[in-house]
Amino acid sequence: MPRFKLTIEYDGRPYVGWQRQTTGPTVQECLEQSVFAFSGERVEVAGAGRTDKGVHATGQVAHIELASEKFDARTVMNAINALIRPEPIAVVAAEVASDDFHARFSAIERRYRYEILNRRAPPALDLGRVWHVATALDEDAMHSAAQRLVGHHDFTSFRATQCQSASPEKTLDQLDIARDGERIVAIARSRSFLHHQVRNMVGTLKLVGEGKWTADDVTAALDARARAAAGPTAPADGLYLTDVIYPES
């Protein structure tokens, strides 16, 4: 049975998340319906990251396995893209994968980007795709404080209360904050993340950017191992899953 690795981008706003559920439309469901439409097969589109409601992706990775051997990777990609319209979802690359490849469990790193539009005027073109913060932010202070979170830690203070991960311990390989004109961009890298971890870290670092917190306050929040000790959860609007890395990469 051929297995295909798919790289996918999507606008997360119309969906209640990646994972199929009964409360509303999902990215996974739309993809599975498109695969059925061209192949006649009911398959599971297994994703590398279960992005939340409103979270976007430029480099989500998924895999499917088809019983029929008549489809090549290019046909799979073109067929999905043709049939998934007008949903804001696109397969940007497809390739044949090995039988033991799994989009989620084979991944060795995930990368997220969070975008803050830091200006007085609200977004017109990027509404729903950035977090609009009108108050001036000090990106250098945010970056310095962010380094307190890099490394292996208990991230209880930065995970959602409903997080189902067996352990709150994660190794954060990178958390960089930089300004690009009116945008402040956070880049986070780790093998895996806790539920809402990136959004909770960004929400906390915003307090530093506003001058309300210091880097020592961020360390104290981390050490407290209590969600209430950290800052607010940043909105889903500005979060993007940008890359999923595998050993062959």
Q: In this predicted structure, what is the pLDDT of residue 164?
A: 83
pLDDT at residue 249 tops 80: no
The interaxial angle of helices 215-224 and 197-209, nearest 10 deg, is 150
Query: For the chain, which residues make up each domain, given as ranges?
Result: 3-97, 109-245
Alpha carbon separation from 3 to 11, 108, 169, 236 (Å, rounded): 25, 19, 33, 31
The single residue listed with the structure tokens 């202070």 is 141
CATH of 109-245, one of 3.30.450.40, 3.30.70.660, 2.60.40.3500, 1.10.150.20: 3.30.70.660
Report the pLDDT value the prediction gives residue 163, as an integer from 0 to 100.
87
Report, as an integer, the average pLDDT of 66-82.
Answer: 94
Instruction: Centre a 10 Å sphere on the Cβ of residue 113 and count the other Cβ atoms it contains.
Output: 18
If you search the block for the tokens 């297995």, which residue do you land on? Answer: 3
CATH no. of 3-97: 3.30.70.580
Q: Do strands 46-47 and 151-154 pair parallel, antiparallel, or not at all (unpaired)?
A: unpaired
> Does residue 228 register a pLDDT over 90?
yes
Residue 88: which pLDDT band, with cuts at 50, 70 and 90? very high
Query: Residue 161: what pLDDT?
Result: 87
Instruction: Give pLDDT tens digits for 121-159.
Output: 999 999 999 999 999 999 999 999 999 999 999 999 999
Question: Amino acid identity, residue 220?
Answer: A
For residue 248, pLDDT beyond 90? no
Q: Which residues pair with 117 in a beta bridge?
A: 132, 183
Q: Which residues on neighbouring strands pair with residue 180, listed in sequence order?
A: 183
Domain 3-97 and domain 109-245 have a common topology = yes
The mean pLDDT of 91-95, rounded to a whole number, is: 97
Q: Which position has the token pair 């890395």?
A: 245
Find, among 12, 48, 76, 23, the residue nearest to 240 by Cα: 12
- CA-to-CA dists, residue 42 to 3, 45, 102, angstroms: 14, 10, 18
Looking from the CA of 49 toward its CB, the CA atoms found within 13 Å total 35
pTM above 0.85, yes or no: yes
Q: Using one digit for the tens of pLDDT, what is the confidence trace for 154-213?
A: 999 999 988 888 899 999 999 999 999 999 999 999 999 999 999 999 999 999 999 999
Burial annotation 12-36 (CB, 10 A radius, 16+ → b, else e): bebbbbbebeeeeebbbbbbbebbe
Amino acid at 16: V
What sign does the dihedral 82-87-91-96 (CA atoms) show?
A: negative
Residue in the block written with tokens 């051997």: 69
d(CA 18, CA 56): 10
How high is the pLDDT of residue 48? 96
Average pLDDT over residues 69-88: 95
What confidence score (pLDDT) does residue 162 get?
87
pLDDT grade for 22, boundaries at 50, 70 and 90: confident
- Among residues 83, 88, 76, the alpha carbon closest in space to that of 12 is found at 88
Q: Is 217 a catalytic residue?
A: no
